[in-house]
Chain A
Amino acid sequence: MSGKDKLKILQHWPTLLLGLIVSVIFLFAIFTFQVKSTESVVITTLGKISGVKEAGLHFCWPYPFQKVHRFDNRYHCFDGSTGKIEETYTADGQPIVAGIFVVYKIVDAEKLFKSLAIPDISQAEDKINSQMRTVKNAVLGKFKFEELVNTNPKKMKIDEIETEMKKGISPIVLDKYGIQVEFVGIKVLNLPDKNTENVFNRMKAERNVVAEQFRADGKSEATNIRIQADNNRKLKLAEAEAQAKQIKAEGDAKAASYYSIFKEEPELAAFLRKLESLRKIIPNKTTLILNTDYAPFDLLKLDQNLSSDKEAKKTK
């Protein structure tokens, strides 16, 4: 290339720079890939696993030489697919309908990738689902119905059931699929359809008993309250009467101390008492029949005597 040609090329440096930038961007897009902090990536080179990459920028050969398979490594919640709510039996033969969910995360993306025909999380969940069904029925069959629901929290063993289910599912899916099950929880706890009718009938019967109990308790307690109130009244009135008697006795005792004056002339005292009694015992509308033997009506008798004396004098 002659110097004239070089000069001619240099004259087009902006175009060349632009082309270079565009080329770099293009190559960057083709030969690199990013892995997010929330995922693990399995790289396959011509179909064979060639590495697992963590978060960051990585080099790769373009498709079809290398393929990038991404798996989210955060907590996934999965509540089952086929047969996620199934009827099963407790240890005491009680039929129940239960559904569970698992919270899992992918800890070994390579193992998971190897175990899947199609590298998709739904495929992995199908594998977990079959394990969930097996373990759920097996574990629930070890516990009695009263250990699932019980008004005494100490007898209720749902936490133990969940822990045992986790123990049943976790090692297998970790070993086979590289999935760590963090938690297994009960999501549905129902009864078979036909049993709900019996429960309704029992509930109604129980409610009737409770209603009757309330009514009886109401009457009984109301009666007790009334009796208690009446008794309290009697007691308090008796106490008041006793106190009143004591006060009256005090009055009488004090009054008695004044009676000594009457000892000076008992006859006069008795006479005065009689007079006082007369005043009190004869009310206004009394009809009084007396003869002339009593003063002052004896005067009437005197007058009669006087008139008889006059008549005797006249006859003389």
Chain B
Amino acid sequence: MSEHKNKPEVNGAEGNGHYKAGIDALTRSLHIAFILLSCLIAFLIIWYFTFGGYYEVKPQENVIVERFGKVVEKHDAGYYWSFPYPVSKIIRIPISKQTLTLTSFWHKADVKAIKGEQQQQAGPTLSAGKDGYLITGDANIIHTEWELVYSVIDPMKYYLKCLCPSEPLRMDEMLVNPVNHKIIGTRGPRTLIQALLENAVIKATATQQVDAALYKHSTDYTAEVRRLFEKDITDWDIGLKVENLIPKSITAPLNTVAAFQEVIDAELQCATEKENAKAYAVTIEGETVSDASRIIADAEVYKIQIVTDIEAEQIYFKKILEEYKKSPRSTLIALYTDTISGMLENVKEKYIIPEDSNGSHEVRIMLNPEPRYQKKDDKDKEKDK
């Protein structure tokens, strides 16, 4: 009865006919809509269980497949199919090289200066927990900044052992203080890697002398940090490999940089002095070898010369002796005269002084016969010549 009240008012058979036609049209429309919806749902279900399970694995990642939560397989780069979620879930693990920069031991002022936030200024003290630094084996302070390059070599171990974000390709989860909403830390694989690296750096630095860590044996220092860190990574067996670990910077505190620079300057000065002395030694050694050779060569020449001279003299003597034996006096006179005449030819000034009536000689000699200074005119004449 009430239905009749709600029905639109129609008149007689004509009204009933219109109503029925409307109902039929609505029924057909709903039927068609239902069929379409059913087809759509069927299509979606079919698509879901066929094409919906395909996925691509990129070269820089590996995929771990979980079926009902259990890890069942791992895939390298390629195209694969597995039952879609919720039956299977694929976890993408990055296997490309990842970089982690460790600034925990770097001066806060330096970090800000590097970022251009403020000028590099040295405070009188360092604030523990804010200004990162390290204590060396000789109880000095240094700042270091490290760059680690690592890669995942065993994605299964990495995923199963190391706390990862739900999507391991993402960065570590940030931990936020619920009161002041400040970031108080992170949670994830990089947090663990960073903590292990910090531990290795502290241990390696704690046995180093400040000079050794800063410049004398910084290579050994770096090698020691790497050795300790690689040992940790191997011991933990979390499927990682250290590709490279280098110190981006190792420096003395800003306050003491000038003092360290002075040491470097002094060391350079020391090295320069030593090198100069070594150069002197090399020069002297060369000269000594040269002089020693000359002395020996002179002696050799002397030896040859004296023997040659005496041989020549012997020949000369033999020939003179033959003549001497024939006529001793005339030979001697001839030799004497020839010698005297030859000698006097070369003598510049000769004075022959006869005896006076008393049979005595008076000779007055002006010493130093050659003038010490030439007259100016004479000099000019010589120049003209």
Q: How far is the CA of A219 from the CA of B353 in the complex (A)?
A: 71
Which A-chain residue is minimally distant from B178 (CB atoms)? Answer: A122
Q: Which of B161, B207, B352, B365 contacts A291 (CB 8 A)?
A: B352
Chain A residues with CB under 8 A of B309: 255
Which B-chain residue is minimally distant from A57 (CB atoms)? Answer: B68
The proximity string for B residues 155-197 relative to A, scoring 1 for CB distances below 8 Å and 0 otherwise, is 0000111111000000000010000000011010001100110
16 A-B residue pairs with CB within 8 Å: A18-B41, A18-B42, A196-B125, A196-B253, A199-B140, A207-B262, A214-B263, A215-B266, A215-B270, A229-B281, A236-B289, A247-B302, A254-B303, A262-B317, A272-B317, A285-B348
User: With an 8 A cutoff between CB atoms, is A99 at the interface?
Assistant: yes
User: With an 8 A cutoff between CB atoms, is B307 at the interface?
Assistant: yes
Q: Which of A36, A226, A228 has the most CB of B within 10 A?
A: A36
Chain B residues with CB under 8 A of A34: 68-69, 86
Q: B137–A284 contact, CB under 8 A?
A: no
Q: B299–A77 contact, CB under 8 A?
A: no
Tell me the B111-130 residues at the A interface (CB within 8 Å). Answer: 124-129
Q: B320–A251 contact, CB under 8 A?
A: no
CB distance from A117 to the nearest CB of B (A): 15
Q: B269–A29 contact, CB under 8 A?
A: no
Q: How far is the CA of A97 from the CA of B346 in the complex (A)?
A: 102
Main secondary structure, interface of A, reads helix
Q: How far is the CA of A286 from the CA of B206 in the complex (A)?
A: 88
Q: A275–B68 contact, CB under 8 A?
A: no
CB distance from B99 to the nearest CB of A (A): 19
Q: A57-B68, A292-B355 are in contact. List 4 more A-B contacts (CB 8 A).
A: A74-B164, A151-B138, A190-B126, A240-B296
Q: How far is the CA of A42 from the CA of B162 in the complex (A)?
A: 21
Q: Given the interface contacts A85-B128, A244-B296, A271-B332, does A282 sit within 8 Å of B343 by beta carbon?
A: yes
Give the 6 A-B residue pairs with the shortest CB-CB distance, closest first.
A218-B270, A251-B303, A244-B299, A240-B292, A229-B281, A151-B137
Q: B266–A76 contact, CB under 8 A?
A: no
Q: Given the interface contacts A149-B206, A214-B263, does A255 sit within 8 Å of B307 by beta carbon?
A: yes
Chain B residues with CB under 8 A of A190: 126, 128-129, 133, 135
A131-139, A165-173, A295-303 - the one binding chain B? A295-303
Which A-chain residue is minimally distant from B313 (CB atoms)? Answer: A258
Tell me the B288-328 residues at the A interface (CB within 8 Å). Answer: 288-289, 291-293, 295-296, 298-300, 302-307, 309-311, 313-314, 316-318, 320-321, 324-325, 328
Q: A244–B295 contact, CB under 8 A?
A: yes
CB distance from A109 to the nearest CB of B (A): 15
How many A-B residue contacts, CB cutoff 8 Å?
Answer: 366
User: With an 8 A cutoff between CB atoms, is A56 at the interface?
Assistant: yes
Which A-chain residue is minimally distant from B122 (CB atoms)? Answer: A200
Tell me the B251-306 residues at the A interface (CB within 8 Å). Answer: 252-253, 255-256, 259-260, 262-263, 265-267, 269-274, 276-278, 280-281, 284-285, 287-289, 291-293, 295-296, 298-300, 302-306
Q: B285–A229 contact, CB under 8 A?
A: yes
Q: A36–B69 contact, CB under 8 A?
A: yes
Tell me the A261-314 residues at the B interface (CB within 8 Å). Answer: 261-262, 264-265, 268-269, 271-272, 275, 278-279, 282-293, 295-297, 300-301, 304
Q: B129–A291 contact, CB under 8 A?
A: no
Which A-chain residue is minimally distant from B235 (CB atoms)? Answer: A183
Tell me the A59-90 residues at the B interface (CB within 8 Å). Answer: 72, 74-77, 79, 81, 85, 87
User: With an 8 A cutoff between CB atoms, is A21 at the interface?
Assistant: yes
Q: Given the interface contacts A208-B259, A255-B306, A284-B348, does A203 sit within 8 Å of B140 by beta carbon?
A: yes
Q: Which of B207, B287, B310 contacts A153 (CB 8 A)?
A: B207
Chain A residues with CB under 8 A of B346: 282-284
Q: A85–B271 contact, CB under 8 A?
A: no
Q: A286–B292 contact, CB under 8 A?
A: no
Q: A243–B299 contact, CB under 8 A?
A: yes
Q: Given the interface contacts A74-B162, A251-B307, A282-B343, does A236 sit within 8 Å of B292 by beta carbon?
A: yes
Q: How far is the CA of A298 from the CA of B272 in the complex (A)?
A: 77
User: With an 8 A cutoff between CB atoms, is B363 at the interface?
Assistant: yes
Q: B347–A151 contact, CB under 8 A?
A: no
Q: B352–A217 contact, CB under 8 A?
A: no
Q: Given the interface contacts A29-B86, A251-B306, A258-B314, does A278 sit within 8 Å of B343 by beta carbon?
A: yes
Q: Given the interface contacts A207-B256, A286-B347, does A35 sit within 8 Å of B288 by beta carbon?
A: no
Which B-chain residue is minimally distant from A285 (CB atoms)? Answer: B348
Q: Given the interface contacts A158-B203, A240-B291, A271-B332, does A185 sit within 8 Å of B129 by beta carbon?
A: no
User: With an 8 A cutoff between CB atoms, is A241 at the interface?
Assistant: yes
Q: How far is the CA of A15 from the CA of B35 in the complex (A)?
A: 9
CB distance from B299 to the nearest CB of A (A): 3
User: With an 8 A cutoff between CB atoms, is B76 at the interface?
Assistant: no
Q: B288–A279 contact, CB under 8 A?
A: no
Which B-chain residue is minimally distant from A203 (CB atoms)? Answer: B256
Q: Which of B159, B161, B206, B361 contacts A148 (CB 8 A)?
A: B206
User: With an 8 A cutoff between CB atoms, is B336 at the interface?
Assistant: yes
Q: How far is the CA of A259 from the CA of B361 in the complex (A)?
A: 41
Q: B296–A243 contact, CB under 8 A?
A: yes
Q: A77–B195 contact, CB under 8 A?
A: yes
Q: How far is the CA of A190 from the CA of B291 in the complex (A)?
A: 64
Q: Given the interface contacts A212-B266, A228-B281, does A185 sit within 8 Å of B207 by beta carbon?
A: no
The proximity string for A residues 197-216 relative to B, scoring 1 for CB distances below 8 Å and 0 otherwise, is 10110111011101110110
User: With an 8 A cutoff between CB atoms, is B45 at the interface?
Assistant: yes
Q: A251–B314 contact, CB under 8 A?
A: no
CB distance from A212 to the nearest CB of B (A): 7
Q: How far is the CA of A145 from the CA of B135 in the complex (A)?
A: 11
Q: Given the interface contacts A57-B69, A203-B259, does A244 sit within 8 Å of B351 by beta carbon?
A: no
Chain B residues with CB under 8 A of A250: 303
Q: B351–A289 contact, CB under 8 A?
A: yes
Q: B353–A247 contact, CB under 8 A?
A: no
